[in-house]
Structure 1
Amino acid sequence: MKTRKSSDVATIAIFFAVMLVIHFLTSIVFNLWPVPIKPTLVHLPVIVASIVYGPRIGAILGGLMGIISVVTNTVVLLPTSYLFSPFVENGTIASLIIAMVPRILIGVTPYFIYKWLRNKIGLTLAGAVGSMTNTIFVLGGIFLLFSSVYDGNIKALLAVVFGANALVEMLISAIVTLLIVPSLLKIKK
């Protein structure tokens, strides 16, 4: 039991370190990127860990992803920071819900999709569903909890974000999951 806990802590630490590296690198690259599509990639280790190590470790890593979001939006102020941080102007407890709940769910849904379809299609679908879990619950949360802020124009904002970033994120997640997970599953055995 003690060995398993140590192993789980080590696994979480390694995946969290990868998440931090991805977060910092994408922050730099996408600030220099001249196009409006800036996909979130921090969720990739959460999806992979969910499939390989299960929904508990996936949910913990998803929670850590949510914490990264809260800290980033608290420290680096953008016009949308209040959507993810209750510690900035106009931020509320709803901001914390939007930052945390979808990210925790990213760590759960891919595991069950892959468990249901244990093949390459299942891996691809698990990656895509993991990414869409984030998109649907974040955008849905914004729509439900903050629609009054945009005076009814939030539908246009959500459509733009969904159309551009979500499809790219989903495709990247599906491909990365399909390429990385089989090797990790072999190593784990």
Structure 2
Amino acid sequence: MRKSKSNDIAIIAIFIAIMIVIQFLSQIIYSFWPVPIKPTLLHIPVIIASIILGWRKGAILGFVMGLISFINATIVTSPSSFLFSPLQPNPATQHGSLSALVIAFLPRILIGIFPFFIYKIAKNYAGAGLAAFVGTATNTVLVLGFIYLFFHETLHQTFGAFIASIVTVNSLAEVVIAIILTMAIVPALEKAIK
């Protein structure tokens, strides 16, 4: 029992390290990136962990993704920082909002849960691809949905603009990258575990 728990902690620590490296490298690469498309990649290890390790560990890693988002928004001030950190002031009210914690954490935790159950339906390449699609869509739709719900007046965002923000080249790039990587990595990890 003790060995199993220490193995679980070690595996989760490896996934967290991978997430930190992805976040750090993304920040560096995107600062020089000449193309306006800047897909989020941090959700991919969460999706893979959900499929391989189960929904509980996936939810833990989703929480870590939310924590990384919260810390980044708190430390690196940008025009959208108030959406992910209550410690950053909303330009309209000049104070932070606890709604930012919902945006930062809830969608990311759910990224760690949904792919596990989707993959259980079909444990093959197609199932891995569908799980990646659902995980990525969970992030995109819920983050943008909560932003619209809590901050549409601050952002002067209409419902049409909200829908348009979901279907962007950036979102499509995130989906394609997540599907390709998940379909490639999950079967390889499953073989390695067996």
Please report the TM-score for the alignment, with normalisation by the length of structure 1: 0.95
Deviation at 1:150, TM superposition (A): 1.8
Partners of 1:60 and 1:162 in 2: CA distance? 28
Question: Pick from 143, 150, 153: which aligns with 1:145?
Answer: 150
Letter in 2 for 1:95: A
8 A Cα contact 1:61 1:104, kept in partner: yes
- Number of positions where the alignment pairs a residue of Structure 1 with one of Structure 2: 189
Q: 1:46-95, CA deviations, whole angstroms, 9 ceiling, x for partnerless residues?
A: 11111001001100000000000000000000000000001111231100
Deviation at 1:151, TM superposition (A): 2.5
Q: 1:84-124, CA deviations, whole angstroms, 9 ceiling, x for partnerless residues?
A: 00111123110000000000011011111100111211111
Question: Pick from 155, 180, 185: which aligns with 1:180?
Answer: 185
Deviates more, 1:161-170 or 1:95-104: 161-170
Percent of residue pairs identical: 51
Partners of 1:86 and 1:8 in 2: CA distance? 32
Question: Is the counterpart of residue 107 in structure 1 residue 121 in structure 2?
Answer: no
Q: 1:135-163, CA deviations, whole angstroms, 9 ceiling, x for partnerless residues?
A: 01101111111111122447436624631
Partner of residue 87, structure 2:
87
8 A Cα contact 2:58 2:112, kept in partner: yes
Partners of 1:157 and 1:144 in 2: CA distance? 10
Deviates more, 1:173-182 or 1:1-10: 1-10
8 A Cα contact 2:148 2:157, kept in partner: no
Let me know the Cα RMSD of the aligned residues.
1.3
Partners of 1:81 and 1:162 in 2: CA distance? 22
Partners of 1:80 and 1:8 in 2: CA distance? 35
Letter in 2 for 1:138: V
Unaligned runs of 5+ in 1: none
Partner of residue 137, structure 2:
132
Partner of residue 70, structure 1:
70
Partners of 1:11 and 1:59 in 2: CA distance? 14
Letter in 2 for 1:172: I
Please report the TM-score for the alignment, with normalisation by the length of structure 2: 0.93
Letter in 2 for 1:105: L
Question: Is the counterpart of residue 60 in structure 1 residue 60 in structure 2?
Answer: yes
Partner of residue 21, structure 1:
21
Partner of residue 40, structure 1:
40
Deviates more, 1:2-11 or 1:66-75: 2-11
Partners of 1:162 and 1:78 in 2: CA distance? 23
